[in-house]
Structure 1
Amino acid sequence: MSTRTTRRRAVLGACGLAASAAGLGAFHALATGRGLVARSRVGLAFGTTISLTVAGTDLEGMEAALTEGVAAMRAVEHEASLFRADSALSRLNREGRLDAPPGHLTALLSFALDLASKTGGAFDPTVQPLWPLWSRAAEAGGRPGDAVLRDCLARIGWRKVRASPDAIVLEPGTEVTLNAVVQGYAADVVMAALTRRGIADAFVDTGEFGALGTHPDGSPWRLGIADPRHKGEVAAVITPFTGFAATSGDYNMAFSPDYSDHHIFDPATGRSPKGLSSVTVTAPSGLLADGLSTACMVLGRERGGALVAGYPGCTVRFAEKA
């Protein structure tokens, strides 16, 4: 993963809520029909389009909640997004050390390193050097050679990161990416901000998804999972949907027309895993859903399913390579 956009719209909200302004308009109309009002904020963050939508009766309270939610998301972006050259994470990668690391970055890296340990390194936040290698090769119409890959792999390994509340230190040549977890974590902090403000019904899209309460028409939230081979089509629907969901897929950023080379890397080989086209995980937190979906792409159906089964309240859906 890298500073370029790596996640195409993988999951669509009920009634297209997460996908378009027209969907937001429909949401607002349904809320009005039930004597509610709805408010939304739409923008760009983490290299993608984000939207936060809430419904209720307290207009002033909803506006304050949305403002607080956006501010919480921006704080995460400022600390842990590679899409910002001035983020704490970008500074860490440039300088190899970050003293007094900020809270969001510390929490994200702690989770990422723990997941790396639990997966035997199948999930690894230090795969960042692979991105420019594959990107340059793809732009030249080829793939990285074995020798070049070996040199790059020497810079990768989650044990090359030393993290404490006082400092984060990287071994020379090591770089960290949190793109596999930061959008899910952002959904968590946004939803927490909305909940603190008393919001009971909300849909959050930070590149990963969270839902609270019910749809404005009174029905449960439904979440459509995108077909990995037919853009714009839905392969399955999660209903009811509450909590959080994340999808990782080979189609999100492919380096080859047949999707055999893509932005998710097996840290052991430096190449893309071959068995699955996408994985969707639902979980009690966006951070967990996001990390597990990426780990499962590398681990495959059997080992990935066993991993997810070890986390209470989580489910996983696999799409095999077409």
Structure 2
Amino acid sequence: MARTVSRRRAIAIFAAAAGLPLLRTARAADPATVWTGQALGAPATLILNHDDPVEAARLVELVVAEVSRLETVFSLSRDDSALAELNRVGAVTAPSPDLVALLESSQSFWELTNGAFDPSVQPLWSLFYRHFSAPDADPSGPTRAAVDLTLGRVGFDSVKFSRDRVVMRPRMALTLNGVAQGYITDRIVDLLRNAGVTSSLVDMGEDRAIGSRPDGTPWRIGLAESQGDDHPDQVLNIVDKAVATSSAAGFHFDAVGRFGHILDPRSGGTPAIYRRVSVVANDATTADALSTAFSLMDEANIRSIVRARRDLLVDIVGADGGHARFDSEA
């Protein structure tokens, strides 16, 4: 039987105030306004430093409304979302500009990672979920024939899109769960910055800092394999950067944990190369997409992209527990 957990992403935000112990829920020095909720089914947190509590409350209302609007575009669990309609029908006309923008970003990440990042992997996810949801599921997973047949419905090059229309081959389906939370985080950052906010930590499934804490010290982001970990294996100091973490431990299709949710769109496998992959980037969309893709790539190819991009830090814990860090600025 498929085993679910509270969050696909495995990242913990920790206290930044001097003298406080590390906590799972972030808190900034008073008088911060702290909002918690959900974005695309993931726990979401906003820490907003603002001198005017009335204006801070208004901004929180705008954030909640924007998250709700974007869920009507990207959610797989809402029948009325634009993505759900695309998956049902195979095409949408006059698509949301946000959907087109995220498909454009997805194409660039698909090309950059030679297909390791591919939102059209959704049919494979459905195959594994259906298989392990059956009461008599074979613990060795779907048959090779079933995986190969499903791979025929995967391939982002078969998704065509413009401002006027999005269309894909019959029986294809997309998931934007590997990038949409980062996109939503970035849109909230834009909203707050346009309102004059200079100090905030935004977590809409992925994390991005606006500036530093009010006292000028960095925000502290703890990295861990699962959301339930109270003690991070690494802590990053972040100013005006985004952080995303992917871990196979975030969701397993099977009860014993052999088949993780990070599916390789090229082979149909569920490799467990790393315990976690964390990416620091200038924006959360990039950090989100690359943390997903890098989970399926060897260290040499990750290093190559990091060197070429010049704006990334990648922090990895291997399957054997070994730690590595690649920094394009090093």
Stretches of structure 2 lacking an aligned partner (at least 5 in a row): 321-330
Write the distance in 2 (CA, Å) between the matches of 1:246 and 1:259.
22
Which amino acid in 2 is paired with 1:128? Q
Question: RMSD in angstroms over aligned alpha carbons?
Answer: 2.4
- Counterpart of 1:185 in structure 2 is 183
Report the Cα offset of residue 138 of structure 1.
2.5
Aligned to 1:34: none
d(CA) in 2 for partners of 1:54, 1:290: 22
Partner of residue 173 from structure 2, selected from 163, 171, 175: 175
Q: TM-score, normalised by structure 1?
A: 0.88
Report 1:1-322 matches (<5 A): 7-8=7-8, 10-15=10-15, 23=25, 27=28, 30-31=29-30, 37-139=31-133, 140-142=137-139, 143-216=141-214, 218-227=216-225, 231-256=229-254, 259-322=257-320
Q: TM-score, normalised by structure 2?
A: 0.86
State the AA in 2 paired with 1:55: N
Query: Are the structure 2 counterparts of residues 257 and 304 from structure 1 closer, same or farther at C-alpha, using a change threshold of 3 Å?
Result: farther
Aligned-partner residue type, residue 69 of structure 2: A
Query: 1-side partners of 2:25 and 2:116: how far apart?
Result: 37
Give the fraction of aligned pairs with identical amino acids, expressed as a percent.
32
> Residues 127 and 177 of structure 1 are in contact (CA less than 8 Å); yes or no, is this contact kept in structure 2?
yes
Provide closer, same or farther for how the CA distance between residues 300 and 257 of structure 1 changes in structure 2, counting only shifts above 3 A.
Answer: farther
Render the CA deviation track for 1:151-190: whole Å, top value 9, x for unaligned: 1111111111111111000101111111000001111001
C-alpha deviation, 1:239, in angstroms: 1.5
Unaligned regions of 5+ residues in structure 1, if any? Answer: 32-36
Distance 2:162 2:5 in 1: 30
- Partners of 1:97 and 1:80 in 2: CA distance: 15
Amino acid at match of 2:84: S
Code of the residue aligned with 1:67 in structure 2: it is: E
C-alpha separation in 2, matches of 1:6 and 1:115:
27
Q: Distance in 2 between matches of 1:48 and 1:214?
A: 24
Q: CA deviation at 1:21?
A: 10
Q: CA deviation at 1:207?
A: 1.1
CA change 1:217–1:227 in 2 (3 A) is farther
| SS in structure 2 at match of 1:174 | coil
2-structure distance, mates of 1:232, 1:136? 33
Q: 1:282 to 1:44 in 2, by over 3 A?
A: same
Q: Which moved more, 1:191-200 or 1:215-224?
A: 215-224
2:274 alignment partner AA? L
| Equivalent residues, number | 309
* C-alpha displacement of 1:71: 2.1
